[in-house]
Structure 1
Amino acid sequence: MNLFRTKSIADMVKGTEQHALKKSLGSVDLVLLGIGCIIGTGIFVLTGVAAAKYAGPGIMLSFVLSGLACGFAALAYAELAAMIPVAGSAYTFAYASLGEIIAFIVGWALICEYTVGAAAVAAGWSGYTVGLLKTAGIILPKAWTAVPADGGILNVPAVLIVSFLTYLLVLGTKESAKLNRVLVFIKLGCVALFLLLATPHVNPSNWEPFLPFGLGGVASGAAIVFFAYIGFDAVSTAAEECKNPNRDIPIGIVGSLLVCTVLYIAVAAVLTGVVPYSSLNNSEPVAFALRAIGMNFGSAVVALGAICGITTVLLVMIFGQTRVFLAMSRDGMIPQSLVKIHPIHGTPHVITMITGAVVCILSGLLPINIIAELCNLGTLFAFCIVSAGVWVLRKTQPDALRPFRCPAVALTVPLAVLFCGYLISNLPSNTFIFFGIWYVIGMVVYFSYSRHHSTLAEQEQSVNLPLDK
């Protein structure tokens, strides 16, 4: 069997007809979907941690570096998402360009990225919520707000928010998009409030020295804050549910990335200008900075915005995970019995409920911290594969319809791979050990099940069957 067999774009599009998703999203929904996943933990938590431990005020340059890496990759994503408007994101793109085993590896990476990331974000949501209630005089019992390893029984707030968002995603993509739109506007308002309140208190002396950890610190900071940009790729998982994917997907991907990059750099500049960078190594640096200048009410409002921000990140992560599972099950990589579309809501309800249940278990019972490096490695790897896929398809299928074309592909693709590869090289070594174990498990699954049950394998077997005499 050919491990690098590819699936034609026509077959991918045709394969969605039997289990079609409801088309309900426009370009504005997609931009907000991207912002919903991008602006969250990254801007409210990682900005301060990365400044304190890695880059100092140079965190602004770290965001520029990560933004450039994402920008090149985003153009590649936009071309392939418009060209192949089906669920699955990087997994689907790899299947069409680089072959089955590469597609499985990418899909396996996305499973880890979205599931582990969603569980970690749910735990973070619980921590913010419990803390905000505590400041209001409402103290919840530790037994039901902490995992067993931390002296509790079950992290109930994490389980409740995951269950609620899973229910919304089962109910319908449009309904979920409405909630996402409201929460995105709230958190954008909170980010704007922070900039409005804190900018007059910026002290330029706090930016000295600008590069306390040198250029190496800027690079390490960029590798860490890259987690803050994870999200625009989730827009491509919604390609199949777009009213006009050829136009809306590129707008959603590039638009959400541009908005968030500008906001990240602005917040990083103001944050490190208001307080010394060394004091920002805490779980709520934005709220901390406002309290430091006496803006206690603003601090509480920003904390509320952080909760809204983390909620939308969790929503989009679960959404993206279900669409990757959907694409993989359609291709036979995982049991096809999971591909069931709700007759009324038009959503993959079975996969969504399974994903929600797994995230509930992880976030409710296990002591999961926000392991940004782990999510980053899977995402950066996927970005490299997608970027390379654009170049491969330009060579192998030069006449294919491309509603959006990545500009200067001979320059953009190598830069995307180089930038993402450079950020990968700056990740901690233990991240590679964990991913090595994860990929070994993935290869066992592929060679024992997926390789023999994929739709392409079944087609090959049917062709090679001996004719009846």
Structure 2
Amino acid sequence: MASQNEHSIMRRKSIAQMDDEAEKSGLFKSLGLWQLTAIGVGGIIGIGIFTLAGLVASGQEGGEGAGPAVVISFLIAGLASAAAALSYAEFAGMIPRAGSAYTYGYVALGEIIGWFIGWDLLLEYIAIVAVVAIGISGYFTEFMAGIGIEIPVWMQGTADVVEGGLVNLPAIVVCLFITFILSRGTKTFGRFELVAVAVKILLILFIIGLGFFYVSGDNYTPFMPNGFGAVFTGAAVVFFAVFGYDAMSTAAEEAEDGKKHMPKAILLSLVIAMTLYVLATLVLTGMQNWEELDTNAAFAVAFQSVGLPVIATIISAFAVLSILTVMLTFLLGVTRVWFSMSRDGLLPRWFSATDRRGTPQRVTWIAGIASAFLAGVFPIRLIADLTNIGILAAFVVVCIAVIVLRYKRPEQPRTFSLPLMPWIPAFGVLASLFLILQLEPETWLRFGVWLLIGLVIYFGYSRKHSVMDPRSPRYEEVIHTDDR
């Protein structure tokens, strides 16, 4: 029996408990190193290059543009993300369990912290799927226009984005399509992701290679038209595009050798993604003046601007396929966090049921339909800001948690130990907090309302139904050890 107060909101699950539950999860272990890396790359690269780069550089939809210095925005976001990635890698090598930041917070900092991060991630991952679907919708509209088919204005987006718009129907359809693919099982999903990511990388290399010949040095002047303020604000926005490894880590229980492969996959995916981001943003802002960049289909419009409409159509077609991988990664993430919280008793057990393929069908379809709703009726900037504040909050928790567990459990076996402890995770905390401060007050308000709802649910249901609580009928199902 654990010595900690089992009625306390700070009670913690032990690593032994996590390992025991992972063995009994019902999730199939079918993902190897390269499939995991593909999931990470698939989650990182996509909307950042194809949509947010143009949005942040041009400053349309209500913000000051970073201009060509959008590349610095990506580098700042990538640096902050790297500190968190190293923290995730250490945790993944110790606790290869579904849940990601939720699980790490639960083990190191206590149940209430784990709950808030899990509750946070449910909203953030669903919102990310919606943001990406909106980005795909923009490229789909450009592609259809390129082959002579005009999508009716009423279905291109809401009225505050497109004049005469009513709903973003293509975004809704793609959310439901992705949900169907994920519902077919992890093995099918892994194969699709591997092929789609390969196509995505080839497409980006093609864009970089061809676009290089149309770069004009004049477009880089002024390089930072609105100063560092716009660059930092841009970094907070594009941060959404550099943390796909976070969602990938939720698939740890479905890895063939999670403790060995997860840390490698996390670091590989971030290095590959950041290299492509830097090259692609330099080419984009060199091809077209930053004030003229399109916010929905930046590269397609940029190639049109240099007289290559056929290439623009090709890019639009393949961009749709490549961005799908981002949606798949984050939809996988939200379903596994939801599954993990349900298994722990913090949400009803009904959600953690799996089918014969080892897939939690119920939460998969609920999350998919919720993302379709957000994508259909809200503008991209609003949802992107909301996703960023939640993920940055999760990064703060993970970076603090890795420090706590390193000093409280130094003897715990680790397949990867991040260097320069505690300076790297401490930098991750400060960088994440700094980026949070760059977001709009309205974003803070929406985030606060969501956390307040979570607080009510925790004290009204989750606390007494947790498998860690002696009052729970599932209390005897878990191993109770004190491995502090």
TM range (shorter): over 0.9
What does 1:34-45 correspond to in 2, within 5 Å?
A: 34-45=40-51
Residue aligning to 2:479: none
The alpha-carbon deviation at position 47 of structure 1 amounts to 0.8
The alpha-carbon deviation at position 222 of structure 1 amounts to 1.1
1:61 aligns with 2:72: yes
CA distance, structure 1, for counterparts of residue 70 and residue 176 of structure 2: 36
1:179 aligns with 2:185: no
The alpha-carbon deviation at position 141 of structure 1 amounts to 5.0
Amino acid at match of 2:38: L
| 1:93 to 1:170, Cα distance in 2 relative to 1, 3 A | same
The alpha-carbon deviation at position 155 of structure 1 amounts to 5.0
CA distance, structure 2, for counterparts of residue 167 and residue 289 of structure 1: 33
The alpha-carbon deviation at position 410 of structure 1 amounts to 1.8
CA distance, structure 2, for counterparts of residue 220 and residue 360 of structure 1: 27
Contact 2:93/2:259 (8 A) holds in 1: yes
CA distance, structure 2, for counterparts of residue 353 and residue 217 of structure 1: 38
Structure 2: runs of 5 or more not aligned:
1-6, 60-64, 477-484
The alpha-carbon deviation at position 424 of structure 1 amounts to 0.9
The alpha-carbon deviation at position 269 of structure 1 amounts to 1.2
Amino acid at match of 2:353: K
More displaced, 128-137 or 64-73?
128-137
In the TM superposition, what whole-angstrom CA distance separates every residue of 1:89-112 from its partner, at most 9, and x where no partner exists? 000000000111111110111011
Amino acid at match of 1:276: N
What does 1:345-356 correspond to in 2, within 5 Å?
A: 345-356=357-368
More displaced, 333-342 or 96-105?
333-342
1:377 aligns with 2:383: no
The number of residues matched between the two structures is 461
| 1:202 to 1:123, Cα distance in 2 relative to 1, 3 A | closer
The alpha-carbon deviation at position 160 of structure 1 amounts to 3.3
Match for 2:112 among 101, 104, 111? 101
CA distance, structure 2, for counterparts of residue 77 and residue 174 of structure 1: 24
Structure 1: runs of 5 or more not aligned:
464-469
The alpha-carbon deviation at position 154 of structure 1 amounts to 6.5
CA distance, structure 2, for counterparts of residue 456 and residue 417 of structure 1: 29
- Helix, strand or coil: the match of 1:85? coil
In the TM superposition, what whole-angstrom CA distance separates every residue of 1:4-38 from its partner, at most 9, and x where no partner exists? 11110111121233332100001111111111111
| 1:358 to 1:276, Cα distance in 2 relative to 1, 3 A | closer
The alpha-carbon deviation at position 436 of structure 1 amounts to 1.0
Match for 2:350 among 330, 334, 337? 337
Q: Percent identity between the aligned chains?
A: 39
What does 1:199-218 correspond to in 2, within 5 Å?
A: 199-218=212-231
Match for 2:81 among 70, 73, 95? 70
TM-score under structure 1 length normalisation: 0.93
CA distance, structure 2, for counterparts of residue 379 and residue 203 of structure 1: 36
Residue aligning to 1:195: 208
Contact 2:396/2:432 (8 A) holds in 1: yes
Amino acid at match of 1:75: L
Match for 1:410 among 419, 422, 428? 422
Contact 1:332/1:453 (8 A) holds in 2: yes
Contact 1:19/1:340 (8 A) holds in 2: no
CA distance, structure 1, for counterparts of residue 374 and residue 48 of structure 2: 21
The alpha-carbon deviation at position 145 of structure 1 amounts to 6.0
CA distance, structure 2, for counterparts of residue 260 and residue 458 of structure 1: 46
CA distance, structure 2, for counterparts of residue 136 and residue 9 of structure 1: 55
In the TM superposition, what whole-angstrom CA distance separates every residue of 1:331-376 from its partner, at most 9, and x where no partner exists? 1110012211212x12122221222233334434x33435211111
The alpha-carbon deviation at position 196 of structure 1 amounts to 1.3
In the TM superposition, what whole-angstrom CA distance separates every residue of 1:216-253 from its partner, at most 9, and x where no partner exists? 22212211111111311111101100011122111111
Residue aligning to 1:237: 250
CA distance, structure 1, for counterparts of residue 181 and residue 334 of structure 2: 15
What does 1:24-423 correspond to in 2, within 5 Å?
A: 24-53=30-59, 54-141=65-152, 155-343=168-356, 345-364=357-376, 366-370=377-381, 371-423=383-435
CA distance, structure 2, for counterparts of residue 260 and residue 355 of structure 1: 26
Match for 1:6 among 12, 15, 19? 12
| 1:260 to 1:102, Cα distance in 2 relative to 1, 3 A | same
- Helix, strand or coil: the match of 1:237? helix
In the TM superposition, what whole-angstrom CA distance separates every residue of 1:129-152 from its partner, at most 9, and x where no partner exists? 244223312345556666699867
CA distance, structure 2, for counterparts of residue 306 and residue 248 of structure 1: 29
TM-score under structure 2 length normalisation: 0.90
- Helix, strand or coil: the match of 1:409? coil
The alpha-carbon deviation at position 171 of structure 1 amounts to 1.6
In the TM superposition, what whole-angstrom CA distance separates every residue of 1:246-277 from its partner, at most 9, and x where no partner exists? 22111111111111101111111111222222
More displaced, 6-15 or 156-165?
156-165
